[in-house]
Structure 1
């Protein structure tokens, strides 16, 4: 990913434009540098109280400029999407994320108008720290205004800072930073010190403008001082054959004695996608024109839906604070039925299909259609709502 305004294609912190970077290889590089899965001292487990199941059930809604004018942000389309999230998906929460203060605030305001719980998370990246913090502050001020007006709002100061914020890992872009880490061109002690410093600065800015619950979205193996925040936030793309393994892994995040929010979870709609552990998007050959799916993937919306339901069972059994499925729509990854080699929706985590009115035309309009994952989530969310 070259610029964070293209975050409509963001998958667990890395854009589909990042080429052949493998997340497993990347995390292995972090582990060898002594940076993965290190926990700071923690307190007692957070008590979820008498409620059973998830406190908030939702979906990620990414705002962005889009790769083409046709896939860019449109206020009217956003309003229709927010209505669908409430009335058709039966979610009670929307994770409004991306960059552009006007896009973020317009979407959050619409969600508040519709009575949804809002998880507001600005993710400006690949610009100087000062610009990122100013963008954060301006978004946070709006979140505070919504909160004072009676809206239900949690504010996240950002996402996976080591990836998006220049200066923590050497490199001007996401791809350069990842490659430098893989090549061993990183001092792990200096990297963690810089990450801690920026995280603390972001938390301080968030506290200065927002009086509600503050959080941050970390990768599942990141080292974060969660004492800075009210809610632990994790982007979660694990895969285990047994349910108990998920529970054991997630329990370590509860040791802080704070509510745990799953800020992203999901997979793509093809056989074997869950086993890629967050790298399901990395199946597109971007050197081809038009872009082409690599290999002979078998489309399976049922696979995507089953994985989401499996994880929701785990999250509900643990009475977690929130879980937001990634993501509602990915306009720049169109579904092309009958043309599996160019069905870019196979590389999308979205729970809806983007269908072009004129396939392969960059200026084409488009519409979304529900996938099996959307329908499965809608049934589950509606059932859970009735139990409250």
Structure 2
């Protein structure tokens, strides 16, 4: 288990207490309502991590194009998806994965993710990704969508005071800030990112919004992009929470949703991985949590039904695979896959080595999503 997962969990505890990541309902607008006629769920996808750098770590310590291509083939032919939502920190990996997906006939969205990189570097990375995305868009028949990034207020220096991610979180937890000024800086940087994207890419663009901390100006984008982890006991709750985003009159794309793999995970939503106890030498899953693949499967199918009924353009469960959270079937206290959102469980050749070769097996959620996609 990397230090990044420990720190991320610590941050999420703070963020949840503040309500920073509670819902996305805070993003509102007075734009015209969406037309009454709603399309069906056209894009049936899955999120795919090519390796995300966080606090100096890489979520995919082992990376080979041959491994990636096999996983993309499984997404197309076993999961029966028609879209893959690709994200990561390395431009070459993003491009190679997008190429492999397009060759499989998949629609592709590409999202560079940066943590603590200077704004100039982040703009340059987006430029490189946009250039590659435009090249791929012209070459292949399938659509390529560019996602300019996500959660800029937390991950990008120069908006919220603080040189690092955790310094910015610390600043926000104190609650003594000028929100209007933060929003001004956020919108200014977002506009610069959009300008870079538009200058180098001629397809549709969007942004991954996960927090009610940010007030996204969706008029800059072709699609409303959401990371949505809210829990409601009935569909009416989701309809009410998602209603503000319809006011922009743009197609809505769910870039991430899902839950982890234990009883009660659906209600915890995006906080599911916080069940791990990191206080000792090795991560431990406390005894009150019970592995439950069926809950994850049921939740994903339920949410796919919600997004279909809402008439959204597409939805992609988070995430296909999490090699940094291995499954230990005979060691329940250390079965980190319980706290993973992935549709596949990973078994490493050398359990303690994050760069070790691995094999994956589909969870019940994989089969459930696959069946939903086949039916629809």
TM-score w.r.t. the length of structure 2 is: 0.92
Instruction: State the distance in 2 between where 1:330 and 1:40 align.
Output: 36
Q: Does 1:45 align with 2:34?
A: yes
Is residue 191 of structure 1 aligned with residue 151 of structure 2? no
Say whether residues 1:301 and 2:293 are aligned partners: yes
Q: Which among 206, 219, 241 is matched to residue 210 of structure 2?
A: 219
Contact 1:122/1:135, CA 8 A, preserved across alignment: yes
Matched residue SS, 1:59: strand
Residue 152 of structure 1: aligned partner? 143
Residues 59 and 324, structure 2, Cα contact 8 Å, conserved in 1 = no
Q: Which is further off, 358-367 or 213-222?
A: 358-367
Unaligned runs of 5+ in 2: none
- 1:55 paired residue number: 42
- Mapped to 2, the partners of 1:362 and 1:291 lie a distance apart of 14
Please point out which of 92, 95, 119 is paired with 1:102.
Answer: 92
Tell me the equivalent position of 2:371.
379
Partner of 1:88: 78
Contact 1:267 / 1:349 at 8 angstroms: preserved in 2? Answer: yes
1:91-111 per-position Cα deviation (integer Å, ceiling 9, x unaligned): 000001011110100001111
What is the Cα deviation at residue 180 of structure 1?
1.7
Where in structure 2 are the equivalents of 1:337-356 lying within 5 Å?
A: 337-356=329-348
Match of 2:313 among 309, 321, 335: 321
Task: Identify the residue that residue 258 of structure 2 maps to in structure 1.
Answer: 266
Query: Could you list the per-position Cα deviations for residues 20-70 of structure 1 after superposition, in whole angstroms to 9, with x for gaps in the alignment?
Result: 2345844735499xx970423212305666x5x301010000111685798
Aligned equivalents of 1:237, 1:329: Cα separation in 2: 18
Secondary structure at the counterpart of residue 219 of structure 2: helix
In 1: Cα distance, 2:187 partner to 2:17 partner: 19
Give the conservation status (yes or no) of the 8 Å contact 1:64–1:98: yes
State the match for 1:279 in structure 2.
Answer: 271
Offset at residue 16 of structure 1 (A): 4.7
- In structure 2, the residue matched to 1:140 is 130
Aligned match of 1:179: 170
Equivalents in 2 of 1:343, 1:17: separation in Å? 19
Task: Name the structure 2 match of 1:125.
Answer: 115
Whether the aligned pair in 2 keeps the contact of 1:160 and 1:217 (CA below 8 Å) is: yes
How far is the alpha carbon of 1:156 from its aligned partner? 0.9
Structure 1 residues 68 and 123, CA gap change in structure 2 (3 angstroms): closer
Normalised TM-score (structure 1): 0.89
Decide whether aligned partners of structure 1 residues 237 and 57 sit closer, same or farther in structure 2, where only a CA change above 3 A counts. Answer: same
In 2: Cα distance, 1:19 partner to 1:186 partner: 24
* 8 A contact 1:111–1:118 mirrored in 2: yes
Task: Between 191-200 and 68-77, report the one with greater CA deviation.
Answer: 68-77
Q: What is the rounded CA distance, in whole Å, between the counterparts of 2:59 and 2:46 in structure 1?
A: 24
